[in-house]
Structures are given as C-alpha cells and as structure tokens.
Structure 1
Amino acid sequence: MRSIYFLPFLLSTLCGFPALGASYHASDFMLGDWAGARTQLHDDGVDLNLVYTNESGTNLSGGDKHAFAFADEFKAGAAFNLAKLINLEGGHFYFAMSMRGGDADNLNTQAGLGELHQSLEIYGRGRVTRLSEMRYQQFFFNGDLELNLGRMNLGSQFGGRECDFMNLNFCSTQFNKQSPTAYNWPISQWAVTLKAKVSDQWAIKTGVIQHNPSFLKTSQGMNFGNPAGTQGMVLPIELQWSPVVNTFTGNYRLGYWYDSAEQADLILDDNNNYRVVSGDSARMHSSIDGEYLIIDQQITSFDDNPARGISLNLYADRGDKHTTKIDKQLNIGMDINGPFASRPKDKWAVAYGYLHVNNRLSEAVQAYNELPTTTTGMPLLSSEHTLAMLYKVQLLPYLSVQPELQYIYRPGANSDNSNALVAALKIRCNF
C-alpha cells in the first residue's frame, strides 16, 4: 500500500462514503482536500469521509408533559473502487461503522406522546458503536447484473427511501416495522442480493438476508463474524421500473417479502382463543409475509435545471395480518428541490402518513373489555395520522440545517391521547 494511503486508511475506521457514482468535489467536505491527498485517493479508487448528524426536538403540545430530547450519530467508512485499485473490473467494496449517542430515552418516551413511530428517527438500537456495512459489490455484463455479498442492512438493498424527514413515518425502509426480523441501519446482517436489468427501464432484484437477533445486542456491535442465534431468513423480491415521463426519470418499485422466522400470533393462543382473555401461550406461525409499493416521480423543473423541481412520492405497504400490530401504512409527499433560484441546494418538503392498527387487535381488546371481571378497559386502537413539513437549508456544501414541524393526530392510534405538535431540528455535517 502506497504511503499516501496510510493515514486516510486509518481514518477510514472512523469515517462514511459518498454514493457510488456521485460526483466528487473536495469542497463538499469540511476538512477539504487534505493538501491534495483526498483527491489523489479518489483518483486511485478510495473515498473516505465522516458524516455527523444531530437530531433534537420538543413537543409544543400533546403528551403528558413538555420535554426536550436529542440523538446523534457519527457515520464512518470507506468505499473502494477495485477496478482502479487492483484492476478488478466492476468490483467495489464498502465498509461503514456507526456510533450513536444522545439521551437515554427518546422524545416519545420522555414526553409521553404515545406515538407508534418516533419523531426523531436517528434514535434507537442503543448508544453504541456498530459495524453497519461490510459489503462486496460486483457488476457483470456491463452493469446489467449486480451482486452484493457480505454484511448489510435491509434498507440499503430493498424498499429504501431518501431519509430527510426526522419522523420515522417517512424515513428508511418501512416494511421492517411490519417484519420484526428485518433490520435497518445501523444493524447489519449477513446477506446476498442479486439484481438483473431486463431492459433500460426494467429490473428485478432478490436476495437472502439473515435474521439473527443477536446483532441487536450492544455487546455484538463490533462483531465482524456471526454470533449464535440465527432464526431464519428474509427473502425479498423487488420489481423496479424507471420510466421517463416528460424527460424526468421516475422510480417505481413493487416488492414482496417472505420471512421464514417463527413468529407469535398477535392475539391468539394455541387453542385459537384470545390470549388477553385466556392468558395462555401465543400461537406460533412458521412464516410471515407482506408487500410494498414505492413511487417517486419528478414532474417539473425550474429554469431548465433538472436538479431543481417538484417531485411527488408515495409509499404503501401491507404487513402480515397474523403477527403485526401495524398492518397497513400509506405515505404521500411532495418535495421541492431548489425552491428558490438563489438557494438551488435547499429543499422544502411536505408529507402525510397513515398508520393502521390491525383490526384483529381491536377484536381481542373488545373481548377483554366485555369480561365481567374487567374493571379497567383497554382502549380500542384505530389509526394514527401524521403531517410533517421540513425546510433544509444547505448553508455550505458540507453543512445543512433542517427545521421540521410534525403534527400527530391520534398518537398511538388512540383517541384518548392528545394530538401532538413537535418541533425538531436536524444538523448534518460531512467532514
């Protein structure tokens, strides 16, 4: 290894990377060009950086009390273009770690909001350093076939979405919330995925993703191997369509997933009675499944600049009716990139989110409430609705500040909970 690589290679154990194919500019990084070393590394096939994200928020109304919470994350890693490094055409290697910190309790808990999803998405999975990606990627047949092998998370491969909003309703892969065995960033598991382009507009992708809850333990955060505890596999398949509508390329994805890990029934026991009434052990299901749909389509541009314009997006999914509390979800949103000519890198976005609680759960609750021995009934849950709006200010190429307002109607799908208004702020810096 050439001496120019030594210090940056060590920094890669502390450092995230730009997306493959993204344009490279040394000015996009706070620490600049390292006296030319960073550009030299990029030209030789090595990209390094460090991304810091901070999310904080408070409830302006709703909940049991007013509270303030924050969470943050350092995302670090390296991307290696193996064609440049070792003449392996079409080969790439990705390595990333994450270190999360912040309050021990999230805003939802501190304020007693009762939300089904969090208002600060970056909170979760423990305040610990984790191996979040260690993946080999290989393209074949001029890029028409793509293979990924190694440690990765579900959202980087299937059903992934741009994650600007802080409310978890609109961020990252959603069907992992219906499948308790499918993990998103910062958790990584062993997986293999394969994507084949059928034409210029059509592709199909599938894979096998391990389910091992041992990776959730903080003690396993930096385990590069495979701790005991594998329970099954998640088998997703995704059909991708990229039509050109009025010169704008859209992103349409239809997915199905099958989970082979055994799961407990949401409400029934072994005798098909309501567990909340009988108190007996849950009936077990040998597998669960679900579907999802993603649409992201730009519809116009400003000043003939395709990087500026309006895009519409939709996300919908169905969870397994036997095991999932939230069995249906719908998101609809609009993004305006570069809303002002003087602010071409800013972004304004609005979104609506709908979470539906499984009707089977209400049936069990109603049966419990009708028992003669019941003195305090449980609430009947229906659906939670969220409206969110953000404005991301790109202060510098490497620094953005994003205020966000969230209005949660019927938090927890419980009409007894007060509607909540949350103000949040995200700061992101790319070193």
Structure 2
Amino acid sequence: MPAFPNLRLCAALLPFGLINCAQAAPAFDAESPWMLGDFGGARTALSQQGYDFKFDYTGEMGSNLHGGSDHDRTARYSDQFGLGTHLDLQKILGWHDAEFQLTVTERSGNNITNDRVNDPRVGGFTSSQEVWGRGQTWRLTQMWYQQKFFDQKLDIKAGRFGEGEDFNSFPCDFQNLAFCGSQVGNWVGSIWYNWPVSQWALRVKYHLTPELYAQVGAYEQNPSNLDRG
C-alpha cells in the first residue's frame, strides 16, 4: 500500500465501477489536494515542515445476483477506515534521506462471498470484497523507519509492515481480492501477511541502476499477529 501524502476522503462502490474521491482547499474545492481544506494554510505549512496526515475511507458492496452456493439474493457491505501520518525526518530532524510511516486501520462489515458465493461448509480462498479480510478489528498496519544511503542507492526499512508491501506487490485497483494486492497472501495467508496485518520486519534494497534493484527481507513469523484481540 502507498504512503500517505495528503488528507483525502474516498467513497467507492467498486462493483458498479463508481469511484468518488473529493479533494479540496477551501473544503470541496476541486483545485485543492485536500478534501476538507487547507485549514487556513496550516496543512500546507505542516507539509512543508515534513508532517503529512491522512484519513481515508473505503466502502465496498457486493450482491449475488445469480448462481453461487446460496441463490437467495441479498447484499453485503464492508468498509475500512485508515488513519496515518508520514514524517519527512530530513525536514523535521535534519536526518538525511530518512522518513517514518505510521498507519492504523479498522475494518468492519460482512462479505457476500462467505455465505452466498462460497459454500460455508468448505469456505474459499478469495473474497468479493477485499476490505473484509483479516478480521473486523483495529490494527497497527504500518510503523516503520526508512533510511537511504549512498545517494539513495541503498534503502533500508525496519519496523512493522507486511511482506506484500515490498515483495510480490500488486496494485489494488479491483474490489475482488483475486485481482487485488499481493496474491501470495491470499493463498498462503497463514505464512504470508499482507495489509492490514503487520509484523516486525527488515527490508534492504540496493539500486544497481535507477531501473534495476535487488532486495532481501527478513520477517517475523508469529501467528498471533493474525489475532483480533
């Protein structure tokens, strides 16, 4: 998942191909990068000093119109709130090429796949609503420090994050989980943790050229990271 450059509020009805991301400055001004406005210039001033914040919301609705395990027609709604901050530590503390990311997420709702598309007695591997996965609860999704060296050729990230952020990454442009996010986590989720689950981790990347890099990562393997408590 991406870092959090600005404050924005997004509502999505992905199964119908409708996406509405309002941006503003005064509030709801289409020319502004912030939906809720610049707060009298405060957001711009904070961004210039290295402090960026984000609040976002994603809602996904699914309905089984025909077929599936249960032919009874109904709909399910799932959503996710995200709260985050990205700190440019070079601007804040004078640490060259250093940054910090903190993200907390909360998921709630129901998934149409669980009791309509798939047979509940056997379950399934994927989900029609990707924001439903990994439990309906609050999670510490990101808490990492990143430092670059040697003119940004060497890039080290340490803290709490998922494997899918840096390995087997895949853009999340669809609502169905089979077309969204790092696929390894969808099929072997007891081993590979994607957003919104985090774990203690270290990732080291070296750019051989601007277009070519090699990287290696070490990740904590702890099933309790999947708990909702």
- CA deviations on 1:358-410 (whole Å, 9 max, x unpaired) are xxxxxxxxxxxxxxxxxxxxxxxxxxxxxxxxxxxxxxxxxxxxxxxxxxxxx
| DSSP 3-state at the match of 2:225 | helix
Q: Distance in 2 between matches of 1:177 and 1:57?
A: 19
Partner of 1:200: 210
- CA deviations on 1:79-98 (whole Å, 9 max, x unpaired) are 00000001000000000000
CA contact (8 A) 1:164 1:171 kept: yes
* Among 17, 20, 33, the residue aligned to 2:4: 17
Name the aligned partner's letter for residue 146 of structure 1: D
> CA shift at 1:18, angstroms?
2.5
Q: Establish whether residue 145 from structure 1 lines up as the match of residue 132 from structure 2.
A: no
> CA shift at 1:205, angstroms?
1.1
Q: Distance in 1 between matches of 2:53 and 2:39?
A: 11
CA contact (8 A) 2:125 2:186 kept: no
CA contact (8 A) 2:127 2:133 kept: no
Partner of 1:380: none
Q: Distance in 1 between matches of 2:102 and 2:82?
A: 11
Partner of 1:52: 57
CA contact (8 A) 1:67 1:110 kept: no
Name the aligned partner's letter for residue 93 of structure 1: F
Partner of 2:13: none
> CA shift at 1:158, angstroms?
1.1
TM-score, scaled relative to structure 1: 0.44
CA contact (8 A) 2:97 2:149 kept: yes
Q: Establish whether residue 66 from structure 1 lines up as the match of residue 73 from structure 2.
A: yes
Name the aligned partner's letter for residue 115 of structure 2: Q
- CA deviations on 1:203-255 (whole Å, 9 max, x unpaired) are 01111011111111111xxxxxxxxxxxxxxxxxxxxxxxxxxxxxxxxxxxx
Partner of 2:227: 217
| DSSP 3-state at the match of 1:60 | coil
> CA shift at 1:200, angstroms?
2.7
Partner of 2:195: 185
CA contact (8 A) 2:81 2:107 kept: yes
Larger radius of gyration: 1
> CA shift at 1:155, angstroms?
1.4
* Change over 3 Å in CA distance of 1:213–1:192 after alignment to 2: same
* Among 142, 167, 190, the residue aligned to 2:176: 167
Partner of 1:81: 88
CA contact (8 A) 2:145 2:159 kept: yes
| DSSP 3-state at the match of 2:63 | strand
Name the aligned partner's letter for residue 76 of structure 2: A
Q: Distance in 1 between matches of 2:195 and 2:155?
A: 21
Question: RMSD between aligned alpha carbons?
Answer: 1.7
- CA deviations on 1:98-118 (whole Å, 9 max, x unpaired) are 011113xx2012314355311
Q: What residue ranges of structure 1 are gaps of 5+ in the alignment?
A: 1-15, 20-24, 220-431
* Among 39, 64, 72, the residue aligned to 1:34: 39
- CA deviations on 1:323-369 (whole Å, 9 max, x unpaired) are xxxxxxxxxxxxxxxxxxxxxxxxxxxxxxxxxxxxxxxxxxxxxxx
Partner of 1:90: 97
Partner of 1:364: none
Q: Establish whether residue 107 from structure 1 lines up as the match of residue 94 from structure 2.
A: no
Q: Distance in 1 between matches of 2:92 and 2:117?
A: 52
TM-score, scaled relative to structure 2: 0.81
| DSSP 3-state at the match of 1:197 | strand
Q: Map 1:322-337; keep pairs closer than 5 Å.
A: none
CA contact (8 A) 1:82 1:93 kept: yes
Partner of 1:158: 167
* Among 92, 114, 122, the residue aligned to 2:131: 122
Q: Give runs of ≥4 in structure 1 deviating > 3 Å.
A: 112-116
Q: Distance in 2 between matches of 1:86 and 1:178?
A: 42
> CA shift at 1:143, angstroms?
0.9
Q: What residue ranges of structure 2 are gaps of 5+ in the alignment?
A: 7-23, 26-31
Name the aligned partner's letter for residue 182 of structure 1: W
> CA shift at 1:199, angstroms?
1.5
Q: Distance in 2 between matches of 1:44 and 1:112?
A: 49
| DSSP 3-state at the match of 1:34 | coil
